[in-house]
A and B are shown apart, each in its own frame.
Chain A
Amino acid sequence: MVLPTLGNAWSGMWARTQQTERYGKCSLLPTSNPVGLLGRRSLHTKAPLAAATVILLVVGTLATTSLLALRRTLHDNAGARLITLNEQLGGNFTSSTAASRQRYLAMAGRPAIAAYLQDPGEGARDAAVAALEPSGPQSELTLKVELRRRDGRIELMRENGSEASTLLGSGYDHDWPALADAAASSDPRVHIGKLRQSGEIIFWPAVAMVPKHADAFVVTWRRIGNNAQARADIARTLGSEAAIYLGNADETVWSELGVPSSAPPPSTPGQVFQFARAGRDRMIAVRGVIGGTPWAYSLEFPTAVVEAPARRFVWTMSQIAAGCVLAGALLAWVVSRRVTAPLLTLATAADRIARGEPARVDLKRQDELGRLGIAFNAMAAEVEAARRHLEEAVEKRTGELRAAQESLARREKLALIGHLASGVGHEIRNPLGVMANAVFYLETIQPDASPEVRQYLGILRRQIELSAKIVNDLLELSRTSPANRERIGIDRLVDERLQRVGTSAAVEADIPPDLPPVVVDPVHAGQVLDNLFTNALQAIDGAPGKVRVKARATDDGFVRVEVSDTGPGIPREHFGKVFEPLFTTKARGIGLGLALSKSLAQANGGDLALVSGPDQSATFAFTLPAADGFA
């Protein structure tokens, strides 16, 4: 199913490309088949079948047409041959019959017979009987010779073999005067009688008038020979399948060389016709008459013999057709394989693409299929590029969405904490205030108290102050005011904050003077920087380390301020958490600084990120939108 497979694979790819463009997402669900290639059989099955069918039709048509023409020609030829043979045979029969008549006449004219008729003495009788000796070819076929009177009375008789009496003694009722008249009116005065049948024997009378005697005639009874010689003669003359049937012209007593048979249908002598002979094949035949006799003959060939060349033709054509069909089918198979193999390769590749795997084809051809392969590769590259683009876009969007979600969660958490801190801070500040007042009062009224009392009052005062500071920081950090952005130089922002943290000695600032100004809320940006500096200074914790501040303009319209320290760095497992509210590793700290800073950075169109590895000291990158990129 090469083409449907290719069609499905194509459809899948096509549908996914469409989805990619419309919805920007991929689906592995099977899709319907917009190409809709019909047919379930493989091309390399169908092509040989089609080729075989076409060849069969063509050869069959040609063979049938040729066969019909050939048969017509064969029949025509056979007919012509039959007519020729018929003419020869008719002539032969007529001339041999004429010769026979002369012989019968000669026998009847023998002097011994005439002498006997004049003086029928004993001696004359023996001489006359001797004169009834048959002569001429195949005289053994003569059954009996009789000398009769016109009324049929037998004067003399000579039998030739024992069967004669059996045949002729069975009361044949002959109209002897009619036979005598027929012979007398013939020229020469011989009459050949109709054929007669007795059992398997076909025989006939020849009546020859005795000269000068109107009352006496010689009857010669002969049978039709049935011998191999006659058969061989006919076969030699007419062919082994030919047959001659002889019978009376009035359709009675037909035989083939003396063997009784059915009569052929009546027909005009000399015209070729066909008929189905009972017990034999269909015959092509011609009828002839034998001059001087009441007989007819039928010269016949089986049409099967006539059509034998046609059958050989059909057989040869069948073999040729079979050869052609096989060769054609084989050729079609080879050719279709040549076509379908690349298509299968394409279909497989298209399936791979539909599954999202990379695929290229090398059909190693220069023809249209080769071009299809090149086009396919171009399309596959397009699809892959589109998919890659899509995946990148999805990844980017997902990242953005996740960042947005995190940002939102952070802001919500900060807002909640701010709300809480505000309430709790107020509640704690009041008791702290009372305590501070009390300590102030005690210190005021006891200027001369013991050193221990003064020390402990000092401890109380400092702890109260520390508590108050923590609460203040908490309230300050969770403050959420909308960004009020303005253009300001990054160097000014950094300087102000460094002055505030006060230990600029440990800070190395690398801020080029040609940086573009940034557009931020100075209070927010200051808060972020403040927090970063405080964290960095706490990380080095008075050790001889350094805090570095490096500012650079980026290609995409931001100024990036990197704050790093030479402290112990941040463990990798904390990377995902440092910006979460309430996450802290400090002994003292509530874990709001970095969360708040990131929130503020984002609220100002920038961002805050941790960029260093765990083995390095912490580096935070604070990006702020540059003025040029601020609409």
Chain B
Amino acid sequence: MSRRILIVDDDKEMVRTLRDIFSLRGWDTGVAYSGQEAIDAQKQAPFDRVLMDVKMPGIDGVAAHKVLKRLFPKLPVVLMTAHRVADVEATTAKIVTKPLDLPALFTMLDQPAAL
């Protein structure tokens, strides 16, 4: 049974490229384009990992992570940001910066204990 990853970003091309890359690496991918969609998708069919952009309209990544963290305390969530890490609102999620260092991200996601 392959692992499931939810990719969340309001940039549709970002979502598409990531979905294709993760599919190539054998992940089952789900996509969402906002924080609310991500929460709804996770409620509907829980994923093993969530890769989510910070800056989104409506519920942003940090807020959505808080909700998900409450609903699914053990769900590993990685937040992506185009800002400096230091400029992101305080959060317990792991943060990576864009452009993504994909090999490093793969390693991170393979080791959920580190998340």
Interface residues of A (CB under 8 A from B): 422, 425-430, 432-438, 440-441, 444-445, 464-465, 468, 475-476, 479
Contacts and interface: CB of A to CB of B under 8 A. Distances in A.
A430 B24 contact: no
A438 B17 contact: yes
Nearest to B86: A479
B87 A436 contact: no
B13 interface: yes
Interface in B76-94: 80, 82-84, 86-87
A434 B14 contact: yes
A422 B13 contact: no
A440 B14 contact: no
A444 B102 CA distance: 12
22 contacts: A425-B82, A428-B82, A429-B82, A429-B97, A429-B98, A430-B11, A430-B14, A430-B82, A432-B98, A434-B13, A435-B99, A437-B18, A437-B100, A437-B102, A440-B21, A440-B102, A441-B17, A441-B20, A444-B21, A444-B24, A475-B84, A479-B84
Contacts of A465: 99
Interface residues on B, range: 20 to 34
Contacts of A475: 83-84
B55 interface: yes
A437 B87 CA distance: 24
Interface string B12-28: 01100110110010000
B51 to A, nearest CB: 12
Contacts, number: 59
Interface residues of A: mostly helix, strand, loop or mixed? helix
Contact of B99 (A427, A429, A441, A479): A429
A468 B99 contact: yes
Contacts of A434: 11, 13-14, 17
Contact of B55 (A425, A426, A433): A426
A437 B83 contact: no
A278 to B, nearest CB: 135
B55 to A, nearest CB: 7
A426 B14 contact: no
Given A436-B100, A437-B102, 15 more contacts: A422-B87, A425-B83, A429-B98, A430-B98, A433-B14, A433-B98, A433-B100, A434-B13, A435-B99, A437-B14, A437-B18, A441-B24, A465-B99, A475-B83, A476-B84
Contacts of B84: 422, 475-476, 479
Contacts of A476: 84
Contacts of B17: 434, 437-438, 441
Nearest to B11: A430
